[in-house]
Amino acid sequence: MSIMSCQNCGAKNRVEARGPGVKPVCGRCGAELPAADSHPVTLTDSTLGSALANAGARPVLVDCWAEWCGPCRALAPILESLAAESAGRYVVAKLDIDSNPRTAAQYGVQSIPTLLIFKNGALVDQMVGLQSKAAIQARLRAHV
């Protein structure tokens, strides 16, 4: 089970994993909620805090990237795969550092790609540079 905020009205909704084709809807306004964790979530300076709070005790993997970065583009399919396989155990997110310099500065991101792992809203691990899927999975497993 995960908690998702409705993008339409902001209400928090408990979402349980269901079979294929079943789409969750907001309990307040009835708007369709995005499929839980099937793709990386896009974060900004202003949405990072709420995303960390909504994740609860689940780890949040944040990819600090930029469009012009070759290694960042090479990492993208790995992150898509991790998000699809997460089954609600963790959240995968992306943060474009060119558009969100405040968060990059706050966490000392000086090289990209940088992967930040948060748990209970606090930074618990960091990986710099292009990483293999197995290496990322091992770091996530330590925090699940």
Asked if residue 83 and residue 110 are part of one domain, the reply reads: yes
- What CATH number does residue 110 fall under? 3.40.30.10
d(CA 36, CA 135): 24
| For range 77-98, the mean pLDDT | 91
Domain that holds residue 26: 1-36
pLDDT at 57: 86
Asked if residue 74 and residue 103 are part of one domain, the reply reads: yes
pLDDT at 92: 95
In the chain, the number of structural domains is 2
Asked if residue 111 and residue 82 are part of one domain, the reply reads: yes
Is 9 catalytic? The answer is no
pLDDT at 100: 96
Give DSSP secondary structure letters for 44-70: -TTTHHHHHHHHTTS-EEEEEE-TT-H
In what helix (H) or strand (E) does residue 43 lie, and over which residues does it extend? Answer: strand 41-43
What predicted TM-score, i.e. pTM, was given to this entire model? 0.75
Q: How confident is the model at residue 14 (pLDDT cuts 50, 70, 90)?
A: confident
16-66 pLDDT, tens digit per residue, is 765 555 678 889 998 877 555 578 999 999 999 999 998 888 899 999 999
Asked if residue 51 and residue 109 are part of one domain, the reply reads: yes
| Residue with more model confidence, 140 or 11 | 140
pLDDT at 9: 84
d(CA 112, CA 122): 20
30 SS3 class: coil
Is 26 catalytic? The answer is no
Asked if residue 116 and residue 65 are part of one domain, the reply reads: yes
Asked if residue 116 and residue 53 are part of one domain, the reply reads: yes
pLDDT at 36: 54
pLDDT at 1 over 70: no
Asked if residue 63 and residue 124 are part of one domain, the reply reads: yes
pLDDT at 6: 73
Neighbours of 104 (CB within 10 A): 20
Cα–Cα nearest to 95, from 36, 44, 21, 35: 44
| For range 87-114, the mean pLDDT | 94
Q: How confident is the model at residue 86 (pLDDT cuts 50, 70, 90)?
A: confident
Asked if residue 105 and residue 95 are part of one domain, the reply reads: yes
| For range 106-120, the mean pLDDT | 96
Asked if residue 121 and residue 58 are part of one domain, the reply reads: yes
Query: Could you tell me if 37 and 2 are in contact, meaning their C-beta atoms sit under 8 angstroms apart?
Result: yes
Asked if residue 13 and residue 41 are part of one domain, the reply reads: no
Q: Which of 6, 26, 64, 72 is catalytic?
A: 72
Asked if residue 137 and residue 105 are part of one domain, the reply reads: yes
